[in-house]
Amino acid sequence: MAVLVVGTVTLDTIEMPRKRVEDVLGGSGVYATVAASFFECPVRLVGVVGADFPHAYTDFLHTRGIDLQGLERVDNGRTFRWGGRYAEDYNVRDTIFTELNVVADFHPVLPDVYRQTPYLFLANNPPQLQLSIIEQATAPKLVVCDTMDFWINEEREALEALLARVDILILNDSEARLLTGDSNLMRAAQAMLRHGPKRVIVKKGEHGAISITASSFFSAPAYPLTQVADPTGAGDSFAGGMMGYLASVEDTSEEAIRSAMVYGTVVASFNIEDFSINRQRRVKFSEISERYQQLQEAVHF
Amino acid sequence: MAVLVVGTVTLDTIEMPRKRVEDVLGGSGVYATVAASFFECPVRLVGVVGADFPHAYTDFLHTRGIDLQGLERVDNGRTFRWGGRYAEDYNVRDTIFTELNVVADFHPVLPDVYRQTPYLFLANNPPQLQLSIIEQATAPKLVVCDTMDFWINEEREALEALLARVDILILNDSEARLLTGDSNLMRAAQAMLRHGPKRVIVKKGEHGAISITASSFFSAPAYPLTQVADPTGAGDSFAGGMMGYLASVEDTSEEAIRSAMVYGTVVASFNIEDFSINRQRRVKFSEISERYQQLQEAVHF
C-alpha cells in the first residue's frame, strides 16, 4: 500500500560545533519520504519548492522511487530556507533564520491519484493545512500527524480540531508537556488521547520513544550511537520509516506499530550520522535489519 | 547468598510542591537494604546513626529481616540530616541543608560475620571509605558502587582508585557526563569502562537505565507511573533491588543482571509513590512480579 507524506522541502543551513553546511536538502517531507522509501511501498510527496530548488535534489528523490507529482514548483518563487545551530551536546537547537518563501502561500490540492492513498503522514505544518489534506483524502486507513510548539501556542483551536481527526499523534516530549501543561509524560499522553487520537507517540530523542493507547504501553529503545553528526530530521525520519514499514506490511495492529516504531528508530539513527540525507544515500536494507535485530537484543530480559 | 550494603541512614526533610515531611527515615543504606529485603537473601547494613535515631525506625528495619549488627549508634552523636526541595516537575532537586553529624567521623569496621559477604553494594560515600570496605571484604563475588558529583569534583583520584576495584559502577546520566566530560552517554560509558569496572550502569530517571560492558548493551525501560510523590531514594532502591535479586539467584551473568535491573526498576517505582519507605511497607512480592511482567510486555516487539 502507498504512503502519502505532506511536508516541507527545504534548503537548510546547519551549524554544528565543528562543521557548517549551507543550502543542503532538508525539510520534513524529504526526511519522511526518504525514510519511507526504504520499505516496499509506493511513496508520494506533497510539498512546494521555488525556481531555485536544485534539480539534483529532485533527481535524487526520483532515484529513491518517490512520486513527486504532488511537489509543486513555483516558477517565480524561492524555496523555504531554514537555518539552525546546535550546541555542543546536540540536544539544544537554536533557529538562526526561517524564510517561509513559497510555503507562506501553499494550499495543497491533492493530485487525483493521491486521494486514495491509505497511509497519510501529515508532517509538521499549520493545522488548518493538515486538516485540509484529511478532507481531500477519500480512503485513509491510517492518519498520522506531527506538530510543533509554534502551532500549540498560536493555533490551539485548529490543532484540537485536527487531533479529533487523526489516528496517531506523534510529537516530542517537550511538545507533549506544552500541549497538556503536564510534566508527567504518561498523564500528558492520556490527556492527549482525550482529544481524539487513538494513539500518542512521544519522541524522546536519545531516550527512545513511547507509544500510549487507552489499553497499551510500549517503550521503544533508542539506538545507541557513539557519533552524531547532525540530529536534523531525526523525528521525521522516525515517522517516515514507521509509515513505510506499516504500508509495506499493510497492518496497523499494536504488534505492527511496535515494529514500525523500531524501524523508524533505526532509520533515524542512520539519518543523524551525517548531514542532510547523505547517510541514507548509502544505507542498505540489510544494515537496517541488522540494527533492528541489535535493538531486539538490547531490550531482551 | 547475602548482600552487604554500606550507606547512609538519615533523617530527611523533604519539600514537595504540595507536601512537606520532616525527619523521615531515609539514606542510601536504608533505601538499598529495604529494596534488597524483598528478595530471598540475607541483607546486612553498615552505617551510623546518633542517639536521636528513633527506635521505631530500627524496629522497622528489623521487621524487614535486615541484619543491623553493622549499624553503629553513637551515644553522644546526632544522626545525619538532609533536606531537599523538588520543583514542580520532580526532576530538579535542590539541597536545602546537609548536616553530616555522626557520618563526618565514620570509619566503618566490618563485623567479622560480614567480611565474607559475597554481594557488596557500596552506596554513595567518600571513595576512600568505599575502598576501605573492599579491603576488609574477604570473598566478594560482586562489588557494585555508586558515587555522586561531589566526589567526582573533589576526590577524583580516590574515585579512580576505587573504580579499578569494582565490578559494576552505577551512576546517573549527569554524573556520567561530569566524570568523563562527554555528553554522549555511550562514549561516556566506554570511557568509564577503561577506568576498571567491567560494567557501567547509567540511571536516567524517568527514561530508564542502560547497562554497558565491552561486549553488551542493555536498555531497561522505566516503569510508566502517572503519580510520583517523592523521587528521593529511587536510585538506591534500584541498586538495592538489583543486588537483592542477584544474591537470591546467585548469578552474575548478563541475563541475571538484566533481570536484576528490571527488578530494581520496579522496586524504585514503588518507592517514589510515597515519601520515605512508606510505600515499601505495603508492597507484596506479587505486586513486584506483576510490574516486572508489565515491563516485559512494554518492551516486546
| pTM for the full predicted model | 0.96
Query: Given this model, what pLDDT does residue A89 score?
Result: 73
C-alpha A60/C-alpha A281 separation (Å) is: 9
The verdict on a CB contact (< 8 Å) between A225 and B190 is no
- Helix, strand, coil % over all residues of chain A, rounded to 5: 40, 25, 35
Contact list in A for residue B258 (CB cut-off 8 A) is 300-301
The verdict on a CB contact (< 8 Å) between A183 and B220 is no
Chain B nearest-CA distance from A190, in A, is 9
Give φ, ψ of A201 to 5 degrees.
-115, 120
C-alpha B166/C-alpha B131 separation (Å) is: 9
Contact predicate B86/B93, CB 8 Å: yes
Of 3.40.1190.20, 3.50.30.30, 3.40.50.2000, 3.50.40.10, the CATH number of A3-299 is: 3.40.1190.20
Q: Enumerate the domain spans of chain B.
A: 3-299
pLDDT tens for A60-81 read: 999 999 999 999 999 999 999 9
Query: Given this model, what pLDDT does residue A251 score?
Result: 98
Q: Would you put residue A9 in left (φ > 0), alpha (ψ -120 to 50) or beta? A: beta
Q: Return the amino acid letter for B138.
A: T
CB-count burial class (<10 Å; 0-12, 13-18, 19+) for A297: exposed
C-alpha cell at B81: 540530616
Residue of A nearest to B186 (CA): A226
Query: Given this model, what pLDDT does residue B89 score?
Result: 73
For chain A, give the percent of residues with pLDDT over 70.
100
The verdict on a CB contact (< 8 Å) between A220 and B301 is yes
C-alpha A159/C-alpha A179 separation (Å) is: 10
Q: Chain B residues within 8 A (CB-CB) of chain A? A: 88-91, 183-187, 190, 204, 206-208, 210, 217-222, 224-228, 255, 258-259, 261-262, 294, 296, 298-301
C-alpha A5/C-alpha B26 separation (Å) is: 53
ipTM score of the complex? 0.94
Tens-digit pLDDT string for chain B (301 aa):
999 999 999 999 999 988 999 999 999 999 999 999 999 999 999 999 999 999 999 999 999 999 999 999 999 999 999 999 998 877 778 999 999 999 999 999 999 999 999 999 999 999 999 999 999 999 999 999 999 999 999 999 999 999 999 999 999 999 999 999 999 999 999 999 999 999 999 999 999 999 999 999 999 999 999 999 999 999 999 999 999 999 999 999 999 999 999 999 999 999 999 999 999 999 999 999 999 999 999 999 9
**Spatial CA neighbour of A138 closest among A119, A107, A116, A160:** A116
How many Cβ pairs within 8 Å bridge chains A and B? Answer: 81
C-alpha cell at B204: 536516567
